[in-house]
Amino acid sequence: MKKNIILMGPPGAGKGTLAKQLIALGYVHISTGDMFREAIKAGTELGKLADSYIKHGDLVPDQVTIGLVKERLSQDDCAKGFLLDGFPRTLPQAEALEVLTKEIARPIDAVINLDCEQKELVRRISGRRVCKNCGAPYHIDTMKPKVDGVCDICGGPLYQRNDDNEDALKVRLNHYVNETKPLLDFYEERGLLTSFDSLKGSAVTFDEIAKFLKS
């Protein structure tokens, strides 16, 4: 069983959806985007700072993000295996993670890259709705909740993220291409990278990846 995993892929590739499915295999799901949104909801100083970047589609500064992940990955529950979703997104983050995982003796076992073409990313993100309570993702055409506007899992209200608009998405995709995509080479060089096609639909992708993680 592969224990400590990084999920990579452009915004809208399905990292969050996949991660929520993989929790069933026993992983702790660590999403920096979810952590920032929690902080924004709680109105903390971190939340205010993060919001000023996120709403424009920009990246939260490395120092802040790295500090947050350091604290989280060091906690006891992560000993059973973790899924990093949305981190690392920059080379300094990847380098810091490499140092940290050595320090805490929790090395990365695999990096999963979800491939997806740009046209599909735009379609997914513009129709995305998210549960305000638990963060579960939906789509207005292709992943509808059973009851309109209500989360299947927890009954919470669904909303559209304020960075899921055309302008912020352009910025996010640019950051992905310029800062995050080069990390695929970083992990390829370390022999950790495996790519999966996320266009097949979430059930097929999940089965394939679950099989890979168990091998």
- How far is Cα 26 from Cα 97, in angstroms, rounded to an integer? 22
Nearest Cα to Cα of residue 113 among 30, 2, 4, 187: 187
Q: Is 89 a catalytic residue?
A: yes
Contact 121, 113 (CB under 8 A): no
Q: How far is the CB of 132 from Zn ion (least distance, A)?
A: 8
Place of tokens 């500064």: 61
- The separation between CA 133 and the C-alpha centre of its own chain, rounded to angstroms, equals 17
Please pick, from the candidates 32, 113, 198, 205, the single residue that binds ligand ADP as defined by CB under 6 A. Answer: 32
Residues between 120 and 159 with contacts to Zn ion, criterion CB under 5 A: 131, 133-134, 136, 151, 153-154, 156
**Residue 13 binds Zn ion, judged by CB under 5 A:** no
User: Is residue 129 flagged as an active site residue?
Assistant: no
Rule CB under 6 A: which of 80-139 touch ligand ADP? 86-87, 89, 93
Query: Nearer Cβ to Zn ion, position 70 or 132?
Result: 132
CB of 124 closer than 8 Å to CB of 149: no
- The closest alpha carbon to 60, from 83, 86, 84, 85, belongs to 86
Give dist(CA 73, CA 47) in Å, integer.
20
Residue tagged active-site, from 72, 132, 161, 181: 161
Chain residue whose CB lies nearest ligand ADP: 33
* Using rule CB under 6 A, residue 14 touches ligand ADP: no
Q: What residues are labeled active site? A: 15, 89, 128, 161, 172
List residues binding Zn ion (CB under 5 A): 131, 133-134, 136, 151, 153-154, 156
